Amino acid sequence: MAKNNAYLIIDIGTGNARVALVRPDGEILSIKRENVQYETDPNYEDAIYFDPNVLWEQIKRLTSEVLLPNKDFQVKAITATSQREGIVLIDESGNS
């Protein structure tokens, strides 16, 4: 049996992370979200940051929660959006 096509959308916003599974016609099949967990920097009064490893675990968990109940759909593409000032630097070994 052929599977229906869908797109996986990952959005890392300022306040929360969202993962959605969407049909090509725009129908949202499933969407999950969690607050982004920020750390404060004691050296800079207004500075906050996220731990990239914690955020990656959130994304993987939310993705599983979206995909598991939708086994009749095949992900044809993945797209991501993010907050404009958040970056993760990667070393030579691919570690954040």
Three-class secondary structure assignment of 6-41: EEEEEEECCCEEEEEEECCCCCEEEEEEEECCEEEC
Q: Does the structure show a pLDDT above 70 at 1?
A: no
* Residues 59-77, mean pLDDT to the nearest whole number: 96
pLDDT for the residue 82:
82
Domain for residue 22, yes or no?
Answer: yes
Average per-residue pLDDT in the chain?
91
Q: How many domains does the chain have?
A: 1
What's the pLDDT at 22? 97
Specify if 89 maps to a domain.
no
Q: So what's the pLDDT on residue 90?
A: 86
* Band of pLDDT at residue 23, cut at 50, 70 and 90: very high
CATH number, domain at 55?
A: 3.30.420.40
Q: With 90 as the cut, is the pLDDT of residue 73 above it?
A: yes
Q: How far is CA 2 from CA 12, 40, 70, 72, in A?
A: 32, 48, 14, 8
